[in-house]
Amino acid sequence: MVRTDLLAMLVPAMPLLGTLIIGFGRRKFTANTAGGLATVLVALSFVLTLVLFLGHHGERHIVHLFNWITVGEMQIPFTFQIDALSLWMMLFITGVAALIHGYSIGYMHDDPRVATFFAQLNLFTFAMLLLVMGSNFLVTFIGWEGVGLCSYLLIGFWYKTPEFNYAGRKAFVMNRIGDVGMVLAMALLFLQFGTLNYAPVMDKAGLMAPNNPVVITATLLLFLGATGKSAQIPLLTWLPDAMAGPTPVSALIHAATMVTAGVFLVVRSSVLYELAPYTQQIVLWVGVATALFGATVGLFQNDIKKVLAYSTVSQLGYMFAAMGVGAYSAGMFHVTTHAFFKALLFLGAGSVIHALGGEQDIRKMGGLKNTTRTTYVTFLVATLAIAGIPPLSGFFSKDSIMAHAFQESPLAYALLVFAAMLTALYMFRLLFLTFFGTYRGKAHPHESPRVMTVPLVVLAVLSAVGGVLNIPHIFGGNEWLKHHLITAADGVANEDLALSAATEYGLMALSTILVVLTIWYAWTLYGKKTTLDGEPADMPFLKRLIAKRWMLDELYAYLFERPFSWLSRHLFTLGEAKVAVPVTVGTGEAAQGFGEWLRKLQNGNTSFYLFGMMLGMVLLLLITLLSA
Partner 1 sequence: MALLALVLIPLIAASLLLAMRPAAATARGLALVSTLLTLAVVLWLWYTWAGTAVTAYSLDWVPAWGMRFTIGYGGIGLLMLVLTGVLFPFIIGTGYKQPVGDAALVNALLLYSQAALFGVFMAQNAFLFYIFFELSLIPIFFLLLRWGGEHKRAITIRFFLYTLLGGLALLFSIAYATLQTPAPHSADFSALAALQLPAATQQWLFWTLFLAFAIKMPIFPFHSWQPETYTMAPTQGTMVLSAIMGKMGIYGIVVFLFTIVPIGTAYWQHLVIGLSLFGAVYAAVIAFRQDDFKRLVAYSSMSHLGLMCAALFTWNAYGISGGLYQTFAHGVLMVCLFYIAGMMEQRVGGNDLARMGGLKTRMPRFALLFMLIVGNAISMPLTQSFPGEWLMFNGLWQLNPWIALAGVVLIVLGAIYMLYVYQRVLLGPDRDVAVADADGEEHFMLVPLIAIIFLVGLFPNLVLQLVDAPVQQLLNTFTSLH
Partner 2 sequence: MENVITAIRVVPLGHYFFLCFLLFAIGMAGALLRRNILIVIMCLELMLNSVNLLLVALSAFLGDTGGQVFVFFIMLVAAAEVTVGLAILVQLKRNTDGVDINQLNRLKW
Interaction site with partner 2 (CB under 8 A): 599, 602-607, 610-611, 614
Cβ pair 188, 222 in contact under 8 A: no
Q: Burial level of 440, CB count in 10 A (0-12/13-18/19+)?
A: middle
Determine how many CB atoms are found less than 10 A away from the CB of residue 560: 11
Q: CA–CA distance from 167 to each of 116, 152, 154, 180, 537 (Å)? A: 19, 8, 10, 20, 25
Give the chain's end-to-end CA distance (angstroms, integer): 92
**Comparison of 21 and 384: residue with beta carbon closer to partner 1:** 21
Q: 399-429 burial by CB neighbour count: b if 16+ within 10 A, else e?
A: bbbbbbbbbbbeebbebbbbbbbbbbbbbbb
> Pick from partner 1, partner 2, none: which does 188 bind, CB < 5 to 8 A by kind?
partner 1
> Pick from partner 2, partner 1, none: which does 241 bind, CB < 5 to 8 A by kind?
none
Binding mask 527-566 for partner 1 (x = CB under 8 A): -------------------------------------xx-
Say whether 436 sits in a helix, a strand or coil. coil
Using CB under 8 A as the binding rule, whether residue 588 contacts partner 1 is answered as: yes
The 8 Å CB, 24+ separation contacts for 560-566 are: none
Question: Which residues from 149-168 bind partner 1, rule CB under 8 A?
Answer: 149, 152-153, 156, 159-162, 165, 168
CB of 621 to partner 2, least distance (A): 13
d(CA 131, CA 86): 9
> Pick from partner 2, partner 1, none: which does 611 bind, CB < 5 to 8 A by kind?
partner 2
> Pick from partner 2, partner 1, none: which does 9 bind, CB < 5 to 8 A by kind?
none
Using CB under 8 A as the binding rule, whether residue 454 contacts partner 1 is answered as: no
Using CB under 8 A as the binding rule, whether residue 72 contacts partner 1 is answered as: yes
Q: DSSP assignment of 375-409, as one string?
A: HHHHHHHHHHHHHT-TTSHHHHHHHHHHHHHHHH-
- Total residues contacting partner 1 by CB under 8 A comes to 54
CB of 614 to partner 2, least distance (A): 6
> Pick from partner 1, partner 2, none: which does 418 bind, CB < 5 to 8 A by kind?
none
Using CB under 8 A as the binding rule, whether residue 73 contacts partner 1 is answered as: yes
**Comparison of 120 and 423: residue with beta carbon closer to partner 1:** 120
Using CB under 8 A as the binding rule, whether residue 131 contacts partner 1 is answered as: no
Using CB under 8 A as the binding rule, whether residue 505 contacts partner 1 is answered as: no
- Which residue type, as a one-letter code, is found at position 457? V
Using CB under 8 A as the binding rule, whether residue 621 contacts partner 1 is answered as: no
Select from 449, 348, 345 the least CA-distant residue to 35.
449
> Pick from partner 2, partner 1, none: which does 602 bind, CB < 5 to 8 A by kind?
partner 2
Report angle CA 346, 335, 259 to the nearest 5 degrees. 65
d(CA 517, CA 38): 44
Q: Which of 25, 40, 60, 68 binds partner 1 (CB under 8 A)?
A: 68
CB of 609 to partner 2, least distance (A): 10
> Pick from partner 1, partner 2, none: which does 540 bind, CB < 5 to 8 A by kind?
none
Q: CA–CA distance from 286 to each of 224, 325, 339 (Å)? A: 11, 12, 21
Select from 185, 183, 180 the least CA-distant residue to 216.
185
**Comparison of 574 and 613: residue with beta carbon closer to partner 2:** 613
Using CB under 8 A as the binding rule, whether residue 622 contacts partner 1 is answered as: no
CB of 12 to partner 1, least distance (A): 12
Determine how many CB atoms are found less than 10 A away from the CB of residue 94: 28
CB of 591 to partner 2, least distance (A): 18
Select from 22, 13, 69, 63 the least CA-distant residue to 42.
13
**Comparison of 606 and 627: residue with beta carbon closer to partner 2:** 606
Using CB under 8 A as the binding rule, whether residue 67 contacts partner 1 is answered as: yes
Cβ pair 360, 353 in contact under 8 A: yes
> Pick from partner 1, partner 2, none: which does 605 bind, CB < 5 to 8 A by kind?
partner 2
Q: 493-520 burial by CB neighbour count: b if 16+ within 10 A, else e?
A: eebebebeeeebeebbeebbebbeebbe
Residues making up the chain, counted from first to last: 628
Q: Indicate the helix (H) or strand (E) that contains 78.
A: strand 74-82
Using CB under 8 A as the binding rule, whether residue 521 contacts partner 1 is answered as: no
CB of 620 to partner 1, least distance (A): 26
> Pick from partner 2, partner 1, none: which does 599 bind, CB < 5 to 8 A by kind?
partner 2
Report angle CA 350, 354, 360 to the nearest 5 degrees. 65
Question: Which residues from 74-93 bind partner 1, rule CB under 8 A?
Answer: 74
Using CB under 8 A as the binding rule, whether residue 110 contacts partner 1 is answered as: no
Using CB under 8 A as the binding rule, whether residue 20 contacts partner 1 is answered as: no
**Comparison of 566 and 609: residue with beta carbon closer to partner 2:** 609
Select from 245, 298, 251, 276 the least CA-distant residue to 423.
298
Q: Which of 6, 443, 571, 617 binds partner 1 (CB under 8 A)?
A: 571
- For residue 71, what are the contacts with CB-CB under 8 A and spacing of at least 6? none
- For residue 89, what are the contacts with CB-CB under 8 A and spacing of at least 6? 132, 264
> Pick from partner 1, partner 2, none: which does 146 bind, CB < 5 to 8 A by kind?
partner 1
> Pick from partner 1, partner 2, none: which does 607 bind, CB < 5 to 8 A by kind?
partner 2
**Comparison of 601 and 626: residue with beta carbon closer to partner 2:** 601
d(CA 373, CA 384): 17
> Pick from partner 1, partner 2, none: which does 71 bind, CB < 5 to 8 A by kind?
partner 1
**Comparison of 59 and 163: residue with beta carbon closer to partner 1:** 163
> Pick from partner 1, partner 2, none: which does 604 bind, CB < 5 to 8 A by kind?
partner 2
Question: Which residues from 277-306 bind partner 1, rule CB under 8 A?
Answer: none
CB of 140 to partner 1, least distance (A): 10
CB of 590 to partner 1, least distance (A): 13
Helices and strands of the chain, counted as H and E runs: 28, 2
Q: CA–CA distance from 43 to each of 98, 134, 463 (Å)? A: 5, 21, 19
Positions that interact with partner 1 (CB under 8 A): 23, 66-74, 138, 141-142, 145-146, 149, 152-153, 156, 159-162, 165, 168-169, 172-173, 176-177, 179-180, 183-184, 186-188, 190-191, 564-565, 567-569, 571-572, 575-576, 580-581, 583-585, 588
